[in-house]
Amino acid sequence: MLFSEACERNKEPIAMELERWLQRPARVLEVGSGSGQHAVHLTRRLSQLQWHPSERPESLEALQARIAQEGRTQLAAGSALADAISLDVTTDDWPAGPFDAVFTANTAHIMPAAAVPRLVAGAAAVLRPGGLLLLYGPFSDGGCHSAPSNAAFDAHLRSLDAAMGVRDADWIVDLAHHQGLSPLADVAMPANNRLLVLAA
């Protein structure tokens, strides 16, 4: 199975924030579930979550392997982890909503910049009124990085692919406004990450 050291380090701080923001029971779509570590941890840690993990088609098999092995036991009361579903945010083929929340961790900086507006628009379309878009990861502000490590990470990403890079929080909020979403919070997280909380 795939394994992410970053997921392992950050899963509990993320769980603590989602516990604060999610009114449960909650139906949650996770975009870009990767190794599935967040999906498993959150459904074991938080009650009354109906968690729907997703990935691009080429990564589904590895994600589903973790769900099959770890996602069916030791779940919190009333929580369930669904089978992985295929989702490419650049298409209009999103799963049927409404969802109480759309959560994504460490995806905006690795998808092409042109895909980020599609991510925000797709999330807005499947959220119920009052639902939340929760974006976790590193962000800049007005083109300025909050830490030297984020600047170095941004340069590294762009050296790999010019379409990748740490995204600007102001840009994300502007995209959200155009989709009828309002910013609720910008939460500082460990390792110079943040959780942007936007409401439908």
Query: Which pLDDT does position 123 carry in this prediction?
Result: 98
Task: Domains for the chain: give ranges and CATH numbers.
Answer: 5-199 (3.40.50.150)
Task: Compute, in degrees rounded to 10, the torsion defined by CA atoms 155, 156, 158, 164.
Answer: -110
Q: How far apart are CA 9 and CA 56, in angstroms?
A: 24
The answer to pTM > 0.85 is yes
CA atoms within 13 A of residue 177's CA, in its CB half-sphere: 6
Question: Can you tell me the mean pLDDT for 24-42?
Answer: 97
Per-residue pLDDT tens over the stretch 109-143: 999 999 999 999 999 999 999 999 999 999 999 99
Per-residue pLDDT tens over the stretch 63-94: 999 999 999 999 999 999 999 999 999 999 99
pLDDT band at 146 (very low <50, low <70, confident <90, very high): confident
Burial class (CB in 10 A: 0-12, 13-18, 19+), 148: exposed
